[in-house]
Amino acid sequence: MAKGRVIRRKVKEYEEEVINQETGEVEKRLVRVWDEYEKSLDKNFVKVFDAFTKDLLLDEEISGKAIRLLFYIASILEYDKDTFYLSPSEVAKELNVHRITVQKWIKILLKKRIILKTERRNWYKVNPYCIYKGIVSKEVVKTV
């Protein structure tokens, strides 16, 4: 996982009186308290690409129907992984629909190439040009 950049934020600023050890005089010194934290890049975000979003909303087979499965898939994706396991029976229980409905949605997402089949049963790959969870780089985005 790539690290983000360190951000410094001033939390408070105040003056304090200190005794100068050489002169014995009381001097005022400005004190600034900083809060440092690492700004994470791309952490816990699922990327849905802009051009794909418009297509998604205009597609009647997906909007209001298979989009539920797509959002479910987005929620189960592991960070920087494009493959996922999908059991129609488990998804049907989670989404409170029939297993046959889930199978229809899977077929629609496959037909639209939003998800792709793998060689293993019930394992799929998300098309990184549509949706991805993780850091998108040239190594991740390949021709599908």
Residue 144, token pair as written in the block:
């599908």
Do residues 56 and 34 both lie within one domain?
no
Please tell me whether residues 72 and 117 are part of one structural domain: yes
β-strand partners of 19: 26
| Distance between CA atoms of residues 90 and 82, nearest Å | 20
- Rounded to two decimals, the pTM is 0.61
Residues 116 and 71 in one domain: yes
Q: pLDDT tens per residue, the chain (144 residues)?
A: 344 555 666 667 778 888 888 888 888 887 777 665 555 554 556 666 666 777 777 888 887 789 899 989 988 988 888 899 999 999 999 999 999 999 999 999 999 999 999 999 999 999 887 887 876 554 444 444
Domain count for the chain, please give it: 2
Whether 1 is covered by a domain: the verdict is: no
